[in-house]
Structures are given as structure tokens and as C-alpha cells.
Amino acid sequence: DQQVKQNSPSLSVQEGRISILNCDYTNSMFDYFLWYKKYPAEGPTFLISISSIKDKNEDGRFTVFLNKSAKHLSLHIVPSQPGDSAVYFCAASYNDMRFGAGTRLTVKP
Amino acid sequence: NAGVTQTPKFRILKIGQSMTLQCTQDMNHNYMYWYRQDPGMGLKLIYYSVGAGITDKGEVPNGYNVSRSTTEDFPLRLELAAPSQTSVYFCASSYSDSNYGYTFGSGTRLTVV
């Protein structure tokens, strides 16, 4: 069963605009949510996280929003840059960490 | 500043062969993990370890074995390789629990033919 879902396999945005990546989860026991970024031929790298007791966490151009009632989180990247082009994985943890299938973001110059 | 190192990067196995995927980390992390990623799927946890001498099954442990004799090393053993084990394998480590994010290796692409 897929407890963490990223329903958009890909997203394309123009440089300078906002990128919004979405993630849904089903297990209400998850208490921490994370976003990872992955470039080709590399392992995922940790980007930003949020505790279930918060609804927003910001780090520079990256902001993660959590809506617990909707079991939904999103990652906002503002402004988007060509170097942000990568696959973004949403993850949620309780006893272990579960990952979504990823969204490939392409930022066009 | 090596982080998590995985070897080999690529490998082709014949059905029924066995091999060990190596993983070592130099950050003195207690927790280590093995994930596999199939095309179009998220990473799935195979095995994990919370410290030397302690291992436990994850979501998809069948067909694999692990050991953790030292803090640094966490090898993954494939016995009797099957085509269903064709995947990209990632090793990861973390200082304590998952809330701090994992450090991943660059992966091993395994093909079983």
C-alpha cells in the first residue's frame, strides 16, 4: 500500500516563477515530513522538513506547507531556478520513512 | 568528506547468482538503511539498523540479508538473484531517528538477467 503519494510525475515551470510540488499521505500516525531532491546518478539529498505540530517551515527559497486535516503537504520554490531541475521526493516518517514516487521538476530558462 | 559510499555503482548478475552490495559511512551515524527504487516508484525500505549488531526488516526484505558488525559498514547480501531484484539500491545513514533527514549514497544499479 502506498502511504505517500505524489500524483504529478512531472512539472515544468519558467525560471523566476513559483514551483509548487504536492504530496498526499494516508497514515495519520506520520509525525515528520521531509522533501528530498535527486539529481541523475546521485542519491537523494535532504532539502527541508516539517514537524506535524507545525503548518509551515521556510528555508530560503523553499517553503513547505502542511495541512493535517487534508493529509496534504506541498513544497514551494520561489523563485525557481534552472539548477532546481531535479526529481523531488516527498517522505513521511513514523517508525520508518516512507517515500512518494517523485515529481520531476524542469525549470526552463 | 566521503559521507555514504556505495560499491559497486553498476552490476549485472545472472539469475541464481549472489552478490554483496557494500555500504560504508564515515559520519559515525548510528542508523543505517537500505532502500530500493523501481521505475516510477518511491524508495522502499529493505532493511535497517539502529546500531552495530542490530538489524531489522523493512517493507520488502524477502530475498535479502544484512549484517552490521561495525558502525561504519552495512552490507546488503542478495542470495539467488531474481529478475524482480533488478532495481537501483540506495544505502543511507542518519544520526538518530529520521527527523533529521538521511544522507544517501549515490546508488548501485543492479540488473538481473
* Nearest residue in B to A4, CA atom: B42
For residue B1, is pLDDT > 70? no
Q: Do A2 and B42 touch (CB under 8 A)?
A: yes
What does the pLDDT read at residue A95?
78
What is the separation, in whole angstroms, between the first and last Cα of chain B? 36
What does the pLDDT read at residue B40?
81
Which residues of B make CB contacts under 8 Å with A? Answer: 4, 33, 35, 40-45, 48, 58-59, 90, 92, 97-107
pLDDT single digits (tens) A23-39: 999 999 999 999 999 99
Nearest CA to B43 among A46, A91, A1, A28?
Answer: A91
The DSSP annotation for B3-48 comes to -EEEE-SEEEE-TT--EEEEEEESS--SEEEEEEE-TTS-EEEEEE
Of A34, A36, A101, the CB nearest to B41: A101
What does the pLDDT read at residue B86?
96
Give the percent of chain A with pLDDT over 90: 92
pLDDT single digits (tens) A42-98: 999 999 999 999 999 999 999 999 999 999 999 999 999 999 999 999 999 987 889
Reading phi first (left if > 0) and then psi (alpha if -120 to 50, else beta), residue A83 is in alpha
Task: Report whether A108 contacts A19 (CB < 8 A).
Answer: no
Of B41, B98, B103, the CB nearest to A32: B98
* Nearest residue in A to B109, CA atom: A41
pLDDT single digits (tens) B6-40: 999 999 999 999 999 999 999 999 999 999 999 88
For residue B2, is pLDDT > 80? no
Residues of B in contact with A46 (CB under 8 A): 101-103
pLDDT single digits (tens) B47-105: 999 999 999 999 999 999 999 999 999 999 999 999 999 999 999 999 876 667 899 99
